[in-house]
Amino acid sequence: MWDNYLLYMVFLGQIFVISYYFPRKILGLINNSMQQHPRNAYPKLYPLEEDAIKGKLNVFKIFNTVVVSIGLGILAMSIINSSDDLAGWDDQAVLGVFLMLQYLPMLYLGTQGFAYLKLMREQLENKHRSADLKPRKLLDFVSKQFITTAVVSYGVCVVTVLYFVQNPFDGFAGLVNILGLSALYAGLGFGIYQKLYGKKHNPLQSSKDRVFETTVAIKLLVLTAICSSLYISISLILASIDMRDLGNLIYSLYLQFFVFYIYHVMKVDHVDYSVYKA
């Protein structure tokens, strides 16, 4: 029974970190930025009225509140029914589905952010804009050791899967694991390519700020690849020795660690706001 309570505690942490702590931190960063850089002094920063911006942020806040309520409901149902699994379902399925639900508010905020930058580009459509013509290479933004770690972790995962192909256990999905990981790596690789060679979304962003943003984004994408490979390898090993539930705990803890890391690298104090002045 103790392992059930451990799962409940970790799941509660996932609810708190991803749907309460992180959204509040993001809202705090945005609100502080608006207070410190008002519209009258930085008109180019505001392609929308402030009330419209605050309205979208309120939707984001309400969205996360709903997700937190659903998560707490799942947790309460599990405790009341003394269920061995979350909400009486498969733990891994519940954690996965709930994570997708937690991602929806961030998806909403992301789409609003792209729409915001599109309005900024439209405002400057007929104005001169500078471009950084310096060649952009992957190793300018991330170390060779970091890339090597991503490749090695992929290799370790492939070897682990191939071992279990020869020594399968109940529920083992076989080579689908390699296919899924390869698809993930391909998607992350495309994301890195877009950050390196894609168009500049913020037309006023300084070259220094863009370099910082690109560095952070690429590091996160490479870290995602490394952690995903290691997670799949560890999960397969745990499942093979009938400790699949421990894999679910590691999955949730990994997500929470990743969110803390993202917030740690999210900084706005370095941003050059002078480009947004009249």
Token pair of 184, please? 């993930």
Contact 83, 245 (CB under 8 A): no
User: Exposed, middle or buried: residue 126 (CB in 10 Å: 0-12, 13-18, 19+)?
Assistant: exposed
CA distances from 13 to 4, 54, 69, 84, 239 (A): 14, 28, 14, 19, 23
pTM beyond 0.85: no
Q: Which residue reads 């990981």 in tokens?
A: 181
Cα-only R_g, the chain: 22
What is the per-residue pLDDT for 84?
63
Tens digit of each residue's pLDDT, the chain (278 residues): 446 778 888 889 999 999 999 899 889 988 988 898 888 888 888 888 888 999 999 999 999 999 999 999 988 888 887 766 665 666 777 777 888 898 899 889 989 988 888 888 777 765 545 555 555 788 888 899 999 999 999 999 999 999 999 998 887 888 899 999 999 999 999 999 988 887 777 777 777 778 888 888 888 899 889 988 998 898 899 888 888 777 778 878 888 888 887 777 765 556 778 888 87
What is the per-residue pLDDT for 241?
87
Residue boundaries of the structural domains of the chain: 1-129+269-278, 139-242
What is the per-residue pLDDT for 197?
85
Contact 100, 71 (CB under 8 A): no
What is the per-residue pLDDT for 62?
95
What is the per-residue pLDDT for 83?
67
Q: In sequence order, what DSSP letters do the residues of 22-66 get, joined into one string? A: HHHHHHHHHHHHHHHS-TTT-GGG-SS-HHHHHHHHHHHHHHHHH
| Helix axes of 2-16 and 244-265: crossing angle, nearest 10 degrees | 20
Q: How many alpha carbons fall within 13 Å on the CB side of residue 161?
A: 20
What is the per-residue pLDDT for 88?
60
User: Exposed, middle or buried: residue 170 (CB in 10 Å: 0-12, 13-18, 19+)?
Assistant: exposed
What is the per-residue pLDDT for 130?
53
